[in-house]
Amino acid sequence: MQRLVSLMVTVSRAAVGITFLLLIGTVLLQVFARTFLPGSPIWTEELSRAALMFLAACGVGLSIRSGDLVNVDLVVSMLPRNARRVALGLSAALTAVLAGLMILPALKFMKVGAMQTAPALGVHMNWIYLAMPVFAVSLCLFAVLAVLEIIGGRDSLSDMSELED
């Protein structure tokens, strides 16, 4: 199982890195063009939005793994160890269920994009809307991993990222 976790983390980190580089490159091109050229490429705005969507979609799983998603853990941190594990496990399980329930609607949403084209990029919107199912699947898989690791003895979600460093 550790090899699967390591593979998922590596793939997610690579996807986040690639989309972040794409976002940075697109924004830099837009700023450079607006500053030094008579006009900027019109497609940079659409591409930067798509890159930002994919950045969030690919990074959400890593965020749940590291405990960096926004949460209120003041009460949970004051609980005894076993109660804390139950609360975190329940939270991760509910997250997995909700993310799992989002997968089919996200796929339907993506299919709507097949009938639309991004005006500046000229690509079908389903490629851009693919970020929604990626988000749901990533969140679901990493939440399931969190549940399994909490069952295996982890005390907090932030402990999970230490395995890869």
Q: What confidence tens digit (pLDDT) does each residue in 105-150 have?
A: 999 999 988 889 999 999 999 999 999 999 999 999 999 999 998 8
The Cα 155–Cα 60 span in angstroms is 21
The Cα 133–Cα 151 span in angstroms is 27
| Percent of the chain residues topping a pLDDT of 70 | 91
Task: Give the mean model confidence (pLDDT) for residues 63-77.
Answer: 78
The Cα 44–Cα 104 span in angstroms is 30
Task: Find tokens 């009938």 and name the residue.
Answer: 115
Stated as kind and residue range, the H or E segment containing 108 is helix 81-112
pLDDT band of residue 162 (cuts 50, 70, 90) is: very low
The predicted model scores a pTM of 0.85
Virtual torsion, Cα 146, 147, 150, 155, nearest 10 deg:
60
